[in-house]
Amino acid sequence: MTGPLGPVSCECVEGYLFAAPPLELLLFRRPPSRGRIWVPVSGKVEPTDADFLAALRRELLEETGLDRPRCIVPLDWEVTFPVENGETWRLHAYGVEVDRSFRPRLSREHDASEWVTPAEAIARLHYEDNRAAVSRLIERTADRPPRL
């Protein structure tokens, strides 16, 4: 049993890249040195970032080369969790709409990317909070009209 979490020492952002309709997500695989798991784009908020969206845009550019998403959808999803050194970190999740033709330029943080259905994303994602964020993205995009 774990005790209560301490004060948040690090804020992080996650971006779930998607195209719709039909809804598909672009997942990223970490290299063997980082567990070879499937994840969204993610990273720490840096002191130079004006806010969470600025941090997300910086991470998108660094990890995928994406500089102009079609739309960013707040998922209103925050997850606080302990890290190995005993600190408490917090994630802020966003949906990031891109053209289905988008092909990322992978950084050293990932060795592969793949477009998948929501069900495949939920099956592949390693962390429960990632799967829950995808469920939120499904809810948030269900009634959206197609973008032209």
Read off the tokens for 98: 């891109």
Amino acid 148: pLDDT:
46
For 115-126, the pLDDT digits (tens) are 999 999 999 999
Average pLDDT over all residues of the chain? 93
For 36-76, the pLDDT digits (tens) are 999 999 999 999 999 999 999 999 999 999 999 999 999 99
Rounded average pLDDT over 13-17? 98
Read off the tokens for 69: 């998403």
Residue 4 has pLDDT above 70, yes or no: no
pTM of the model: 0.91
What CATH class is the domain 8-141? alpha beta
More confident: 11 or 5:
11
Residue 94 has pLDDT above 80, yes or no: yes
Residue 96 has pLDDT above 80, yes or no: yes
- DSSP letter string, 6-67: --EEEEEEEEEEEETTTTEEEEEE--GGGTS-EE-EEEEPPTT-SSHHHHHHHHHHHHH---
The domain spans of the chain are 8-141
